[in-house]
Amino acid sequence: MAKFWLMKSEPSEVSVDDALAAPKATVPWTGVRNYQARNFMRDGMRVDDGVLFYHSSCAEPGIVGIARVASGAYTDPTQFDPQSHYYDPASKPEAPRWLMVDVQVLRKTRNLTLPALRADAELQELLVLKKGSRLSITPVEPVHWDAILKRLAT
C-alpha cells in the first residue's frame, strides 16, 4: 500500500520549478540532517509513494506540487563534501549517517498556503501543522492526502 509524505524544500535551494526543469522532473533530496526524517526515508518511503512538495522558509510557505518518491534511500554524498553546506565531518564513507531519495514532480499546483492549511478543519491533525513540528519530512495520512488533493482541484 502506498504511503504519503510532505517534504519541505526551501525554494532558494530547490523549488518546484527547479525540479520540473530537471531531467525527468526528478531531483535528489539532499541535505536531510535530522535522524527522524532520515529514518522516514530509510524505513518508510518506497518508490511511487505520494509526495506533497512544500516550499518552506519563504514569503508564502505551502504545498506547491504533487510528486512521487522516485528511488529508494541511498547515501547522500553532500555529507562527505567539505564545500557543501551539508558537510558532516563525523560521517564516514564506510559508515554514512545521512541518506536521500530522488523525488519526481508530477505537477505544479497553486500554492496551498500554510494559513489555508491551518484554517481547514479537516486538516487539523496534519503533522506539519502541529506545534513544534519542524521536520523536513513528515508522513501524511491518506485522509489528509485526499482532502488536500480535493482542495488543489478546486
CATH of the domain at 37: 3.10.590.10
Q: Which residue has the cell 500554510?
A: 114
What is the pLDDT, as a whole number, of residue 52? 98
Domain span at 80? 4-153
Could you report the per-residue pLDDT of 106-115, keeping only the tens digit for each? 999 999 999 9
DSSP string, 35-81: HHHHHIIIII--TT-EEEEEE-SSSS-EEEEEEEE-S--EE-GGGG-
For residue 118, how many other CB atoms are within 10 A of its CB? 12
Query: Which of 28, 13, 39 lies closest to 137, judged by CA?
Result: 39
What is the count of structural domains for the chain? 1
Could you report the per-residue pLDDT of 48-77, keeping only the tens digit for each? 999 999 999 999 999 999 999 999 999 999
For residue 59, how many other CB atoms are within 10 A of its CB? 6
Q: Is 15 helix (H, G, I), strand (E, B) or coil?
A: coil
pTM beyond cutoff 0.85? yes
User: Is 2's pLDDT higher than 90?
Assistant: no
CB 49 within 8 A of CB 68: yes
